[in-house]
Amino acid sequence: MSFAKRVLRAIALLSTLVLVSGFTECYKPVTKNQLPARIRTIAVPAFQNQALRYKIEHRFTEAVINEIVRRGRGLRVQAEREGADAVIDGVIKSFNFGGVLLDARGRARVFEVTVTAAVTVRDQVENRVLYDNQNYVFRGEFEFADDPRSFFNEEDPAIGRIARSFAESVVSTLINGFGVTNEK
C-alpha cells in the first residue's frame, strides 16, 4: 500500500472518530424541566393590554397557553390563579408599526411591527418571583400587495407570528431555565 493511501485512511479514520465522539455532547436535546418539581399546574390569566390595540392581549395569552400545552412536559394549564402552583402574568405594554420599505410611488409596502411586553412568573407556593422581564421586545414584518385587487391585510397574521415567537421564548425560558432564579 502506498504512503498516500495510508495517510488518506488515517485522516478518514481520525475524522470519523472526531465526528462520532467529539461532537455528541453538542447535540443533546434538553429533556429536563428546570422549573421546581413542585410546580405541576401553571395559571395563565388573560394578559393586560396597555397598548390600546384591540384584543392583542388575547392573541398573546392564547399563544402562551398553546405553547405550554405543546412543550410543557406534563404541566397542566389553567386560567384561574386559585389552585395553581405558578402564575404567568403578562402585560402588552406597546404595539407599534411603521413602514420600512417604500415602492416606486413612495407608498409603504413592508411594515415592521414591534410589540413590547412584560412577563412575570411567580411561584405561588413559596410566594416568590421565578422570572421577571419587564422589557420583552418582539418584531415582525408584513407586506401589502402591489395590486389593490389582490389586497390582503397582513397585519393580523403578523401579530399571530409575533405572539407565537413570544410564547416560544417565554416557555423555553421557563422549561430550559435560562434566567430563572432558583435561589431563595
Q: Which residues of the chain have pLDDT under 50?
A: 22-31, 180-184
Domains and CATH numbers, the chain: 3-176 (3.30.160.150)
Q: What is the pLDDT of residues 37-60, one digit of tens each?
A: 888 999 999 999 998 888 889 999
Q: What secondary structure does DSSP assign to 98-165, as a single string? A: EEEEE-TTS-EEEEEEEEEEEEEEEETTTTEEEEEEEEEEEEEEEE--SSGGG----HHHHHHHHHHH
Q: What is the SS3 assignment for 91?
A: strand
- pLDDT for 76: 92
Q: Which residue has the cell 407599534?
A: 96
Quick one: pLDDT at residue 121?
A: 92
pLDDT of res. 136: 84
